[in-house]
Chain A
Amino acid sequence: MNHRERVRAVLHDQAYDRLPLVSFGYWPETLDKWAAQGHIAKEDADGYRREEDNGPADRRVMASLGFDFNWCSTVGGNNYLMPLFTEETLETKPDGSRVIRNVEGLIEKVNDHIISIPAFVGTSLTGREAWETLYLPKLTYSEKRVDEALFRKLAQESDKREMPLGLYVGSLYGRIRNMLGVEELSYLAMDDEDLYREIIDVVGNLCYRVAEKVLSYGVEFDYAHYWEDICFKNGPLINPAVFRELVAPHYARISKLLQSNGIDITSVDCDGCVDLLVPIWLESGVNTMFPIEVGTWNASIAPWREKYGKTLRGVGGMDKRVFALDKAAVDAEIERLKPLVDLGGYIPCPDHRIPPDADFAITAYYCQAFRKAFG
Chain B
Amino acid sequence: MSLFQEISENLQKGKAKDVKELVQKAIDEGYPAKEILDEGLLSGMGIIGEKFKNNEVFVPEVLVAARAMNMGAALLKPLLVKDGVKSCGKACIGTVKGDLHDIGKNLVKMMLEGKGLEVIDLGTDVAPETFVETAINENCQIICLSALLTTTMSGMEDVVKAAQAAGIRDQVKIMVGGAPLTDAFCKKIGADAYSPDAASAAEIAVQYCTV
Contacts and interface: CB of A to CB of B under 8 A. Distances in A.
Contact of B60 (A189, A232, A276, A295): A189
B137 interface: no
Given A111-B100, A116-B98, A295-B150, A185 B60 contact: yes
Interface stretch (B42-50, B51-59, B79-87, B202-210): B51-59
Interface in B55-93: 55, 57-61, 63-64, 67
Contacts of A114: 98-100, 125
Contacts of A324: 150
A115 B98 CA distance: 7
A87 B173 CA distance: 41
A117 interface: yes
Interface string A200-212: 0000000000000
A296 interface: yes
A190 B148 contact: no
B32 interface: no
Interface stretch (A62-70, A123-131, A234-242, A329-337): A234-242
Contact of B150 (A187, A236, A321): A321
A119 interface: yes
Interface stretch (B20-28, B102-110, B111-119, B159-167): B102-110
B205 to A, nearest CB: 17
Interface string B132-167: 000000000000000011111000000000000000
Given A234-B197, A236-B58, A117 B100 contact: yes
A186 B64 contact: yes
B125 A240 contact: no
Contacts, number: 96
A95 B130 CA distance: 14
Contacts of B63: 182-183, 186-187
A120 B57 CA distance: 23
A2 B151 CA distance: 37
Contacts of A236: 58-59
Nearest to A296: B179
B100 A235 contact: no
A115 to B, nearest CB: 7
Nearest to B55: A235
Contacts of B99: 114, 116
B180 interface: yes
Contact of A237 (B59, B124, B152, B180): B59
B46 to A, nearest CB: 18
A190 B106 CA distance: 19
A109 B125 CA distance: 10
A356 interface: yes
A276 B55 contact: yes
A262 interface: no
A120 B103 contact: yes
B14 interface: yes
A79 to B, nearest CB: 24
Interface string A311-341: 0000000000100100000000000000000
B101 interface: yes
A183 B60 CA distance: 7
A150 B128 CA distance: 52
B35 to A, nearest CB: 27
Interface in A265-280: 272, 276
Interface string A171-195: 0000000000011011101100000
A97 interface: yes
6 pairs of A and B residues whose beta carbons are closest in the complex:
A186-B60, A116-B100, A186-B63, A119-B100, A296-B179, A233-B179
Interface of B: 14, 55, 57-61, 63-64, 67, 95, 98-104, 106, 123-125, 148-152, 179-180, 196-197
5 contacts: A111-B125, A115-B98, A119-B100, A190-B64, A232-B103
Interface of A: 95, 97, 109-111, 114-120, 182-183, 185-187, 189-190, 232-240, 242, 272, 276, 295-296, 321, 324, 355-357
Given A186-B59, A238-B59, A239-B61, 16 more contacts: A109-B124, A114-B99, A115-B151, A116-B101, A117-B101, A119-B100, A119-B101, A120-B103, A183-B63, A186-B60, A190-B14, A234-B197, A237-B58, A239-B60, A242-B60, A295-B179
